[in-house]
Structure 1
């Protein structure tokens, strides 16, 4: 099957659907509607039928901190190299846009994947942590 990489975020609906299909934590529609337009850079992968089957994006302050997030490929399209294609695009953008010594981070959920782009574990020097805003 032919796939096309596009430099654009997914729709809000497809963002929510891809996160669910990939088994990722739920995000509220309100949060996604507010957050997606604030992406520094985003890519999607579209299959031959025009359906978005993968997504990834970078958020941050555009200078000193960049966060790779929302990397997802629909399970029906995994093992096709789509995640690698998206990471290649994200890292090419980082290499062109981020100033020297900028900090690029991510939360890895796949062992051995992100290391090929130079990412290293932070532990034991630091620990990844999170806080989720409670629902009203």
Structure 2
């Protein structure tokens, strides 16, 4: 797996966290929970993922991944940085790694989307709101 220095304290790695770490990081970042079954089934089906590792402890403190069909649709999701490690540029470095994967692998005219939960962050990477041409929608299973 590729690895690069985020700075002296953090490393960005191309890998996915295990389900327990994934769930814990989502909870710490105040993101909605995912079921254990969903994590066990879903994480291995990711197209690409990166984690931010806090070197002094080896703890995963940030993550992001891409899901989709690896041809026409790419969905950036599960972007999270633990609150104790925010404001270190980790979200930007995770996003840059995800964008790098898309730039290297996506064919022309692929659709790349995400659900933004941080205002102003994704716009710096060229993302735009879909409205009024389209509406973002969702539903959750029970």
Gaps of 5+ in 2: 1-7
1:53 paired to 2:53: no
1:97 paired to 2:105: yes
Q: CA deviation at 1:19?
A: 0.5
2:9 alignment counterpart: 2
1:44 paired to 2:59: no
Aligned-residue Cα RMSD (Å) equals: 0.7
Runs of 4+ residues deviating >3 angstroms? none
SS of the aligned residue for 1:101 comes to coil
Q: CA deviation at 1:123?
A: 1.1
Q: CA deviation at 1:47?
A: 0.3
1:13 paired to 2:13: no
| Correspondent of 2:92 among 75, 84, 90 | 84
2:35 alignment counterpart: 28
TM-score with structure 2 length normalisation?
0.93
Q: CA deviation at 1:117?
A: 1.0
1:129 paired to 2:137: yes
